[in-house]
Amino acid sequence: MASSNKGVSIIRHRDLEPSWHVPGAKVGGTLRSLISWVGGPKGYVNSNPGTAVENNEIGVGLMYLPVGQQQEGLHYHTVTEIYLILKGFVEGKDGSGTNHRAGPMDCVYIPPGVPHGVRNCGLEDVELVWLHDGLERKGATVYCDTEEDVKNAPSKEPVKVVSLRDLEPFWGAPRAKEPEFLRWMVNWIGGPAGFENLNRGVAVESEKIALGLTVLYPGQKQVPHQHAVAEVYTILQGKALIKLDNKNQELGYLDAVYFPPGHIHSLRNIGPDPVYIMWTHGRASPQKGVGIYRL
């Protein structure tokens, strides 16, 4: 339940009531709802104040965009917005008039000030993770009413799309190739030189946030480890177990855990399918800062 950025905290999907407050969210054609696992304090973007973990670095949430719906027009933010598509297909527009398409496990990186909007362009409801690489004040999102607004937007930087298929699995973590600990990782967003980046040259580089995936096979567990930065796990597939305060807690689809820097943690796969753990870091991790392993 609710927590400050001081403690470790599980944020269960069932406890997050969808919010329908964004412009047009309750109008046919632009129907969509949002949740936040991790958001800002009072006055900043947070779809679930009181239930989401409050922090001062990033926002992590989910958008549900049913089939046939789209966001209401183009808009832009004061922070970088990142989408990771979980289900379905979207078509995105950006300020330069370029369209891009994205589907499952594609990551869309939208720099601050770049007008953007997505529509569901497939035949299934879209679930996408949205991330902010900083905190945005409530009401700071600008919706473009006219072509002129789009033209005068602060940035024309390109939107970048990185697909899972472009990312070579990293098997170099301690004991990752040994049965009992079998797992691999990729990152869509990694750090610049001097910071952790498992897919250098392919992943988008950022100092403000990292986004990656750990795939943990059935019966396997992570080597207990900690990070120099805050980390958020979100389960995208499978069932995992985590021990917190000597109590086993089960994690399923769209459950999340917030770990403050230095918290030692390890997940075990307790289901028949690989567990997909999406991980987000509150800022880029110094090269030796990720994975301080307890072997």
Between 50 and 97, CB nearer to Fe ion: 97
Tell me which residue has its CB nearest to Fe ion: 81
Residues 6+ apart with CB under 8 A from 254: 13, 62, 234, 235, 236
Between 155 and 166, CB nearer to Fe ion: 155
Between 166 and 169, CB nearer to Fe ion: 169
Between 196 and 231, CB nearer to Fe ion: 231
Between 127 and 231, CB nearer to Fe ion: 231
We find the least distance from the C-beta atom of residue 231 to Fe ion, in angstroms, to be 5
Specify whether the CB–CB gap between 277 and 236 falls below 8 A.
yes
We find the least distance from the C-beta atom of residue 266 to Fe ion, in angstroms, to be 8
Between 54 and 81, CB nearer to Fe ion: 81
Spacing of C-alpha 28 from chain mean position: 27
| Gap between the Cα atoms of 256 and 277, Å rounded | 9
We find the least distance from the C-beta atom of residue 81 to Fe ion, in angstroms, to be 5
We find the least distance from the C-beta atom of residue 11 to Fe ion, in angstroms, to be 16
We find the least distance from the C-beta atom of residue 265 to Fe ion, in angstroms, to be 6
We find the least distance from the C-beta atom of residue 130 to Fe ion, in angstroms, to be 7
* Exposed/middle/buried for residue 86 (C-beta within 10 Å: 0-12, 13-18, 19+): buried
Select from 102, 84, 100, 110 the least CA-distant residue to 213. Answer: 84
| Gap between the Cα atoms of 10 and 17, Å rounded | 15
Residues of 117-143 as b/e, b for ≥16 C-beta within 10 angstroms?
Answer: bbbbbbeeebbbbbbbbbbbeeeebbb
Query: What residues make contact with Fe ion under the rule CB under 5 A?
Result: 81, 231
CA atoms within 13 A on the CB side of 214: 26
- The amino acid present at 87, given as its one-letter code, is K
| Gap between the Cα atoms of 218 and 271, Å rounded | 6
DSSP string, 119-132: EE-SSS-EEEEEEE
Between 66 and 166, CB nearer to Fe ion: 66
We find the least distance from the C-beta atom of residue 196 to Fe ion, in angstroms, to be 11
